[in-house]
Amino acid sequence: MEHIIEKFLENHKLSRAEYLALLEGWENQESARRLAQEAVKIRDHYYGRKIFTRGLIEFTNYCKNNCYYCGIRNGNRNVSRYRLTEEEILECCHIGHGMGHRTFVLQGGEDPWFTDEKVAVIIRRIKAEFPDCAVTLSIGEKSYESYRLFREAGADRYLLRHETADEELYRSLHPAGLSLEKRKQCLYDLKKLGYQVGAGFMVGAPGQTLDHLAQDLVFLQELQPQMAGIGPFIPHHDTKYGSEKAGSIELTLFLLSVMRIMLPAVLLPATTALGTLDPMGREKGFMAGANVVMPNLSPLENRRLYELYDNKIGTRGEDGESMEGLARRAECAGCRLVSERGDAVEL
């Protein structure tokens, strides 16, 4: 174990079998501490003690997909569906800009009502009204041509978690018609088009083993994304995984540290899912090497309808979710919430 950690700290890179050996030690607190200490050192070297904010606008909960773990999957008839209007989206940005956000993330289900042209119009309007801000999209799998149109409209970044790099696990979590191959193709297309790209996965997804996670690390090592979203799986009552266990917080934190060491300049959120499972989850994430937080900017009445998993925080406008609350959380972890675009540092 010791020897694998030393090798990893030296080379920032391991084989699948070695990653597996590293991950097998996740319950060893000494190892976790050692990795976190190094991860924080690396983060501080590239980004200082800054925590970047991303204002998240969940603009539609309509989705044509049916990912089995997700609360807003198409097959869930118990969700009342909503779409924000263009004006409402712009209003979210306006409020968010006033709060200090310099990145807006447009996230949604895969909703064909928002045609490429409609999305492009929204991107252009945000970029025209807030020229000092970055626009991040998180709207799923699209064609190369669509991604190109969005990029030309001004989109800077794209979040598309690969979910799992194992073919079989991918098939077990998604209906036929969705494939890992397509998912990966999208990520490579986005890179080619010059987006800052975010991939990632859930920790503790049903059926996931440590070897699956080792494969995720190998895939991310190859992809070299600028951002990585890693959060615990949390069951949603209206899915077939409703009574599964949630992912482990400690394993998630361990993986955040590993990710920071593997991709030193990666932008790494302390995810909402981490904050949902543990009231101190985000603080712990920062102490494990994360440097991004993504508070919700959607209108309050829509938030509870964008329920990817049970008890998602931020849906009631809780106090710890305000900018002041998040600034306190950052400080608690020895960091500082900043009002900047927070682009990825090029190595």
Q: Which residues bind ligand SAH (CB under 6 A)?
A: 69-70, 107, 109-110, 138-140, 160-161, 163, 202, 231, 233-234, 236, 273, 308-309
Nearer to ligand SAH, 47 or 195 (CB): 195
The CA-to-CA distance between both ends of the chain, in Å, stands at 29
Strand partners, 138: 107
Output 69 or 130, the one with its CB closest to ligand SAH: 69
For residue 264, give the nearest of 5, 26, 12 by alpha carbon: 12
Minimum CB separation from ligand SAH for residue 123, in Å? 16
- Minimum Å gap between C-beta 33 and ligand SAH is 26
The CB-of-143 to ligand SAH minimum distance in angstroms stands at: 15
CA 122 to each of CA 59, 73, 222: distance values in angstroms, whole numbers, following the listed order: 11, 24, 33
Smallest distance, Å, CB 113 to ligand SAH?
Answer: 14
Residue with smaller CB distance to ligand SAH, 180 or 234: 234
Q: Report CA 307 to chain centroid distance, whole Å.
A: 15
Least separation, in Å, of the C-beta of 15 and ligand SAH? 26
Q: Judged by CB, which is closer to ligand SAH: 165, or 202?
A: 202
Q: Which one, of 91, 82, 111, 106, lies nearest residue 302 by Cα? A: 82
Query: CB 16 → ligand SAH: shortest distance, Å?
Result: 22
Which residues have CB under 8 Å from 322's CB, separation 6+? none
Q: Which of 36, 47, 56 is nearest to 266 (CA)?
A: 47
From the CB of 133, what's the least distance to ligand SAH, in Å? 20
Relative orientation angle of helices 249-262 and 2-11, to the nearest 10 degrees: 40
Residue 83 sits at φ, ψ, to 5 deg, of -135, 135
Q: Where are the beta strands (DSSP E) in the chain?
A: 50-53, 55-60, 103-108, 134-138, 157-159, 196-203, 227-232, 292-293, 336-338
Helix (H, G, I), strand (E, B) or coil at 134: strand
Specify the residue, 52 or 59, whose C-beta has the smaller distance to ligand SAH: 59
Tell me how far the alpha carbon of residue 91 is from its chain's centroid: 23
Order the strands of the 103-108 sheet from edge to edge: 55-60, 103-108, 134-138, 157-159, 196-203, 227-232
For residue 77, the minimal CB distance to ligand SAH (Å) is: 17
* Cβ closest to ligand SAH, residue 97 vs residue 157: 157
Nearer to ligand SAH, 44 or 110 (CB): 110
Nearer to ligand SAH, 97 or 282 (CB): 282
